């Protein structure tokens, strides 16, 4: 039971830890909900192990953390993205770079470029994504590219110590509160389902009315309509099997 002391569960289901110890006459207070790579503790055991290791490092003078609270250097969206342009995407494909630059220069820069990365709220970003999708009529996949850009910039800011841990966690890690895509329009979902319904209807019609064709008829493939019908049905069955394998929900 003592191992669980100082370990607690967060609202999103992840875990965190805290401890206070004295080293060289000084009280050291640590509280963490992310590991050294910025990832949440998914289980209680992960948090317990991380806490024990952190305590051991502090006692042996091996911790890299300052005894005083870490000072965050605030940066704007523009400053973070320009630094990423220079240092963070050397391995990216040319097409990816062009897409990122287009989104930044044509949309995000004017709206958020001069704002600090830690001051723009989850609600503000979600409202912007909703505006792009519902009001401006942007496609769902196109709006997703904006969401990816926000995650990219915020991730860069956190990794370079331009954003407090708790702010980054709320924006990008908290499953209940983080930035996310707007709900897909019902009309768009209906269009997809109607198209699938029509396809399945055609497949079922062909299969149910298929002609009895023996393998001996295949030698006359290019002349006999019955064989062409047989081949057509085989293709339809293949399509239906493919849809089932993809687990596409059909209303």
pLDDT in tens, 198-222: 555 554 444 444 333 333 333 444 3
- Domain termination residue (choose one: 141, 173, 205): 173
How far lies 99's CA from each of 9, 79, 92, 107, 167, in Å? 39, 19, 11, 12, 27
Least Cα distance to 111 among 98, 93, 86, 129 occurs for 129
d(CA 180, CA 12): 15
Same domain for 19 and 98? no
Same domain for 194 and 167? no
Same domain for 87 and 165? yes
How high is the pLDDT of residue 212? 35
Q: Is residue 165 part of a domain?
A: yes
The two counts, helices (H) then strands (E), for the chain are 9, 3
Q: Which domain holds residue 236?
A: 186-245
Q: Is residue 13 part of a domain?
A: yes
Domain count, the chain: 3
Same domain for 85 and 147? yes
Computed over every residue of the chain, the mean pLDDT equals 78
What digits encode the pLDDT tens for the residues 179-202? 999 998 876 555 555 555 555 555
> Is the whole model's pTM more than 0.75, yes or no?
no
Same domain for 90 and 168? yes
How high is the pLDDT of residue 217? 37
Q: Is residue 119 part of a domain?
A: yes
How high is the pLDDT of residue 126? 97
What digits encode the pLDDT tens for the residues 162-174? 988 888 888 998 8
Q: Is residue 26 part of a domain?
A: yes
d(CA 84, CA 209): 60
Q: Tell me the range of 10-19, 94-103, 186-195 where mean pLDDT is highest.
A: 94-103
Q: Is residue 226 part of a domain?
A: yes
| 245 or 113: which leads in pLDDT | 113
Where residue 94 falls (left for φ over 0; alpha for ψ -120 to 50; beta otherwise) is alpha
Whether residue 31 has pLDDT greater than 70 = yes
Rounded to 5 degrees, φ, ψ at 224 are: -85, 120
Same domain for 53 and 90? no
Same domain for 42 and 93? no
């Amino acid at each position: 039971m003592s191992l669980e002391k100082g370990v607690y569960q967060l609202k999103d289901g992840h875990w965190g830890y805290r401890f206070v110890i004295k080293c060289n006459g000084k009280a050291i207070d640590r509280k963490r909900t992310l590991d050294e790579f910025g990832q949440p503790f998914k289980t209680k055991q992960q948090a317990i192990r991380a806490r024990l290791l952190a305590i051991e490092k502090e006692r042996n003078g091996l911790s890299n953390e300052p005894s005083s609270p870490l000072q965050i250097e605030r940066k704007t969206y523009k400053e973070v993205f320009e630094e990423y342009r220079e240092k963070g995407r050397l391995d990216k494909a040319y097409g990816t770079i062009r897409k990122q630059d287009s989104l930044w220069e044509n949309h995000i820069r004017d709206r958020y470029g001069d704002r600090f990365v830690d001051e723009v709220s989850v609600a503000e970003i979600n409202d912007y994504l909703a505006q792009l999708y519902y009001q401006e009529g942007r496609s769902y996949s196109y709006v997703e590219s904006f969401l990816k850009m926000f995650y990219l910039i915020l991730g860069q800011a956190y990794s370079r110590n331009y954003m407090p841990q708790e702010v980054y966690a709320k924006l990008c890690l908290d499953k209940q509160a983080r930035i996310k895509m707007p709900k897909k329009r019902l009309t768009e979902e209906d269009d997809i389902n109607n198209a699938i319904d029509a396809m399945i209807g055609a497949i079922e019609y062909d299969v149910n009315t298929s002609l009895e064709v023996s393998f001996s008829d295949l030698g006359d493939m290019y002349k006999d309509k019955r064989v062409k019908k047989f081949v057509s049905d085989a293709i339809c069955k293949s399509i239906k099997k493919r849809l089932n394998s993809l687990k596409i929900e059909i209303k």
